[in-house]
Structure 1
């Protein structure tokens, strides 16, 4: 049976609710920006299955991770619907603060300002970071704030934002935060499109085009037995055949986003625009060194 979670909008309200739940079990946190869908629900279900204690979902559209030219104002805000979805997944607390509550001293998109923020390091300069140079500084700073406010024992993040997940794991390790970071598999539509809050920006024709990203990743998986080059070729063939996809990057890497191994486990990641909407996706991949057959 679903139960309505308690809504906290201030730090003090959150602290009081967590104090009331003290001792009931480990605290689990699912950070989100709202506009929740079945993919977010799966993160909540993962959190709920891992603890008898409180499950906290944060809903905060973090302005610090949006560059001034990006879609902050356009990003959907659907708090009532989001709370209803949380209720169905056994969430205990929804923390939905105002910007002033999270950044009482203000913030800057620039790397140099008067406040304290998290410097994400070299890993934040590739892939998403190459075109969004301030993005991960904003992400890690707000996640660190949420970790400080909630003090979770574990936090659940989706693998769809794979570089984000890798950076959060690195931050938790490097800064000795003592939090278990759980990565949950990407939830997909029936045709393979990765669920995303930004999918609602796509019109019917663009929605059909968008599935090209997951088709390209699957094609690479199928050819990965012939090596890294063959996997890349297969993915690019699918992407180039669809003129409605404006490719940003296609990357084949190790699981930690280092260079792809000749043999073994890796990751394939893609980012592209469909119309005005920027989409990302990724999948695990296994590389072999088998020679490519003639004419393949």
Structure 2
């Protein structure tokens, strides 16, 4: 199946907001990737096989951070098996073995969680994985929805930090509402700090408007400038940032050739971030 990857023709630039947690600083470009690997075997390939292929690919293509969504809890809970997925690379693993902050609630059960691989020669951990303002993410005003996971990284040899997010949004009719909630969360709880947001949004960008288009406008204060988001044509997986996002065309083409796809809608995505 042919896959086209490009930066959509909408360009905006985030304006700095006073009151940031860490002063904005010049940060070298960071190569990052995201992929919803799907928690089940597809075409005879298990999720651990897909993660192993992506980790090797990422290491060979100079990726500083790789974010994986819908990683099965059976893999996240098996340290030895998980380590095999990135063995032979420089990556270090961070995990969140839940998609909800209160997984004991019957409505919030999920067989999946998050995996983030990072290269410690490029970034180190300042604050480990935490759910990002889960109270902002809700269904019908009272059911908990899936919030993003946030990690704050130190950039090696730089007096700078960057917040990195990974998200598996709710699906179907609930997806757009959670994109709206994300817009509020970023606006109200994360001003100023340089950030990178990756994941499966379960929503497409409609050039005529809608939740995703509104999100892109809002994080840029409607100002023109370099493009700060990346997605596949008619895709639902994205990389957004407070800085400039450039299509890592070589990595995306190579990933397509190597078949880094889980189910039909989820393709790996690689971008270069200039903060």
TM-score, normalised relative to structure 2: 0.33
| Bigger helix share | 1
Q: Identify the structure with bigger relative contact order (alpha carbons < 8 Å, sequence gap 6+).
A: 2
Q: Looking at CA atoms only, which structure, 1 or 2, has the larger radius of gyration?
A: 1
Q: Which has the higher strand share?
A: 2
